Structure 1
Amino acid sequence: MIKKLLILAGLFIVFQFGYSLSCIASYYRVVDGVLRYTGAGQNRVVKNVDIETFEDLDWAFGKDKNRVYYLGQNIKNIDAKTFEVIHEYKPIPEFIKSPVPTCGPPNIEKFKDKNGTYELKDIQNGKLQLEE
């Protein structure tokens, strides 16, 4: 009986660890000359990107000389030349403080450009649109 409980506990730990890695294993990467975003349930080719000037800002945001990207999609009407991060934070992983594990939010919370100041929730609630 104890052996079965240890096996079950071991399996739980392995699956929990795997899930935790899937939350933080979001990233942009170049594969065969194409920039891809993988993470947050997404696996997509990043369109219209200038790979030479692209920089990864956190697990969700990236930018090149022309555009700012969120989860691999261009954020419409954001000026990349004047884009600036105003506030970042390091969240406590949700699987530590929640009985039901979920991925934590990205580190960039607030940002601005020549057109205004924005928050992450502006993307999530549709105030800022993403290109399809």
Structure 2
Amino acid sequence: KTWPEAKAWVAERAGKEQKVEHTVGVLRQFLVEPFVPHPQDTEYYININSVRDGDWILFTHEGGVDVGDVDAKAEKLLIPVDLAQYPSNEEIAATLLKKVPEGVHNVLVDFITRLYAVYVDCQFTYLEINPL
């Protein structure tokens, strides 16, 4: 979208109640970034969402507009409520990054770990980045 189109999209939603699955809230802050041309096979998808037993991290090597049924194809990792049981970097890579080239595992594991820390620190209940 163009910058004017993006501003119009935000204006339609800002300060208004929105529903994502079972969560309802008012959107007050938006991040908009410019499009950077890149190969589609370098797009990823990540979702973190809270449930009673902890937080699910869903990751798939296919991001973008045509991500499709994420629940059906994403790799999933449950982070338990007790963060003393937080998975190791190796566990994160082995569980979530099975279909991602090994050359980017370290960068993605670092990103996922830091993103999860922000998720917890800011008390999010849902976060989605597409494409990553």
Which TM-score bucket, shorter chain as reference?
under 0.3
* Higher normalized strand content (fraction of residues): 1
TM-score (norm 2): 0.22
Q: Which has the larger radius of gyration?
A: 1
* Higher normalized helix content (fraction of residues): 2
TM-score (norm 1): 0.22
